[in-house]
A and B are shown apart, each in its own frame.
Chain A
Amino acid sequence: MGEDLEAVVQQLKELVADLSVDWTRPHPNRVYISVEKQNVRELGRIIFEDFGARFATATGSDVGEELEVIYHFAYDAVGLVANMRVRTPKGDPVVPSVTPVVPAAEWIEREMNDLVGIVFEGHPDPRRLILADNWPEGVYPLRREHRDGA
């Protein structure tokens, strides 16, 4: 028998209850879990290991004064997508890496570092991934400043 969506969501909610998270469910199949920086790795571990969701990808974006990272986890048995969101001010673009607990996040974190300039603390191998070898250090093509030519 297939799993029940409501039961799965309830289970996830209980698993993350110990961390101070901001939980929203904009759509039946989607939950947003916003978390403070210091709890990112632990929450990633809970969703990946304890809950058992698959890590799909992550996205980094420049939302104005802050940078935002969203890790997308999928729980395919019921079609649930859980998004772990974390924000950091541009002046301090450092968030803990989840690669030590979710190995598949390694390259996407390197890519976010290249393109948006988010530094993943504790990443095992934070080398440049996709920018050209002669691209200048410290210039992030997907930052708003870059687009605006500032």
Chain B
Amino acid sequence: MSVVERMKLWGLKKSPWVYHLNTGACNNCDIEILELLTPRFDVERLGVLLAPSPRHADALLVTGICTKQARPRLQEIYRQTPKPCLVVCIGACACTGGIFHDGWHFDGPVDEAIREVDPDAMIIYIPGCPPKPEAMIATIAKALGDL
């Protein structure tokens, strides 16, 4: 690993800026993400900052099944992120398609859509419907520790 790559990884682990992306969620997972950002869980105290643009993001928080309409947009947003970029599939829907896996609008799951763009993408999964904010914090902390 080059020095630049090591610095980028250090930056990501030190303070991951996250971009929240709903690719067809029922909104419940999104509400739980909001819980993370607001005072009760306040992940900003751990260095996690909500980024207003995918071009500033170290991690994508993706919720929802990947719908036919969302798939190309998800892929484009992933392309726009600086690498390395961690993709966090939040909820059963994003992980596998969940209860919508045989829906007519389903075109996922999220990891397939991302791997089509970047076969080596770093993808982590937080199952649950929706997952608890504690589970999200624990999973992301574990993933960052493993990087």
| Chain A residues close to B by CB (< 8 Å) | 132-135, 141, 146
Q: Mark B50-73, 1 if CB is under 8 A from A, else 0.
A: 000000000000000001110000
Q: Select from chain B the residue with minimum beta-carbon distance to A142.
A: B104
The binding surface of chain B is classed by DSSP as loop
Instruction: Note all chain A residues with C-beta closer than 8 A to B104.
Output: 141, 146
Least CB distance from B73 to A in Å reads: 11
The binding surface of chain A is classed by DSSP as loop
A141 touches B68 (CB 8 A): no
A141–B103 alpha-carbon span in the complex (Å): 9
| Chain B residues close to A by CB (< 8 Å) | 67-69, 104-105
Least CB distance from A143 to B in Å reads: 11
Least CB distance from A142 to B in Å reads: 8
6 tightest Cβ-Cβ pairs between the two chains A and B: A132-B68, A132-B69, A141-B104, A133-B69, A134-B68, A135-B68
Q: Select from chain B the residue with minimum beta-carbon distance to A134.
A: B68
A146–B104 alpha-carbon span in the complex (Å): 9
A141–B104 alpha-carbon span in the complex (Å): 7
Task: Identify 10 residue pairs between A and B in the complex whose beta-carbon atoms are under 8 Å apart, listed by A's number.
Answer: A132-B67, A132-B68, A132-B69, A132-B105, A133-B69, A134-B68, A135-B68, A141-B104, A141-B105, A146-B104
Instruction: Note all chain B residues with C-beta closer than 8 A to A134.
Output: 68
Instruction: Note all chain A residues with C-beta closer than 8 A to B105.
Output: 132, 141
Instruction: Note all chain A residues with C-beta closer than 8 A to B68.
Output: 132, 134-135
A132–B72 alpha-carbon span in the complex (Å): 11
A135–B106 alpha-carbon span in the complex (Å): 12
Instruction: Note all chain B residues with C-beta closer than 8 A to A146.
Output: 104
Least CB distance from B66 to A in Å reads: 11
A135–B67 alpha-carbon span in the complex (Å): 11
A133–B69 alpha-carbon span in the complex (Å): 7
Instruction: Note all chain B residues with C-beta closer than 8 A to A141.
Output: 104-105
Instruction: Note all chain B residues with C-beta closer than 8 A to A132.
Output: 67-69, 105
A42–B9 alpha-carbon span in the complex (Å): 66
A2–B67 alpha-carbon span in the complex (Å): 48
